[in-house]
Amino acid sequence: MITRDVAAFVAFARRVPADLPVLPRGVFMVSPEGFALAEQSASDNGYMQQGGAVDAERALAQHRGLQRRIAQSLPAICFPGNRETPDAVFANNVFATVAGRLLIAPMRHPVRQREAERSDIPDFFKRAMGYEIVDLRSGQGVAELTGSLIVDRARGLGFCGLSARCDEAGAAAMHAAFGLRATLLFDLASGEYHTNVLMNILAGRALVICPDGFADPDIALALQGLYPHTMVLDTDVRLGFAGNCIALSTDSVWMSTRAAAGLSESNRIAFAAAQFTVIALPLDELEKAGGSLRCCVAEIF
């Protein structure tokens, strides 16, 4: 099922068992070598710092700190960056995995399309992991993988926000490539570029969501009953990147220190009630490029 009918999707989702692997076996990342603000990306990413310089060495240090901390919990592989691809640090937009397959995205901007042309990441997954390479660039549409598509891995459900970074053809391609049981399509609010700054599903049991990032906030409200726990973010909390979080274990949620500092008291209570410990790391230099912790982490399933 791939649909815009929220009621039909919710009814279907309530019947779907949580019988699939919910947590990744590891993660992979791309280092921010040559880190800079990409002008093309800034044209439709309102979270990017407008003007000003970035400290490339500080960005590298923060990224290394993130990798080291994740590696204490599960394998964390890092591939080298490239000055010709300044956004490559946000690897989860371009590459994603499902069991036995690496997906490559048809990106919107040429500066990000160059990231999909690198051969080392596909070669690693093909030769070392035995994965099939599924290149979505051969089809129609734009689809920026787990930037645009939130996946409930436990149930095989997709939540796809449409914007300039993902159209309906791209959404359909992702639905098939991820092997999803059902995908809900909805429009993002004007000015929003990716769903994963507005919404995430943590370990199959908690929903983090910011209704004002949806063109129709009632859609976000309709999804809240699907999970035992819901963390509703207001605009200020969203702008601090709290929605750009990820669960890498059943009892921890990872986000930047800026995101964690901006959580409301009700958010903190909700995370505690869901038995999630918040792990926060400094990523403010990387956040100048319009993404945060979740964007830096591509999962290996």
pTM of the model as a whole: 0.96
Homologous superfamily of 2-300 in CATH?
L-arginine/glycine Amidinotransferase; Chain A (3.75.10.10)
CA distance 16 to 24: 20
**Domain map of the chain by residue range?**
2-300
Give CA–CA dist 41/155, Å, rounded.
32
Q: Mapping DSSP to helix (H, G, I), strand (E, B) and coil, where does residue 282 land?
A: coil
Burial class (CB in 10 A: 0-12, 13-18, 19+), 111: middle
Q: For residue 26, give the nearest of 268, 177, 188, 248 by alpha carbon.
A: 248
How many CB atoms neighbour CB 145 within 10 A?
Answer: 29
Residues 28, 248 contacting (CB under 8 angstroms): no
Q: Could you report the per-residue pLDDT of 105-130, keeping only the tens digit for each?
A: 999 999 999 999 999 999 999 999 99
pLDDT tens track for 9-50: 999 999 999 999 999 999 999 999 988 887 888 778 889 888
Helix/strand number for the chain, H first, E second: 13, 16
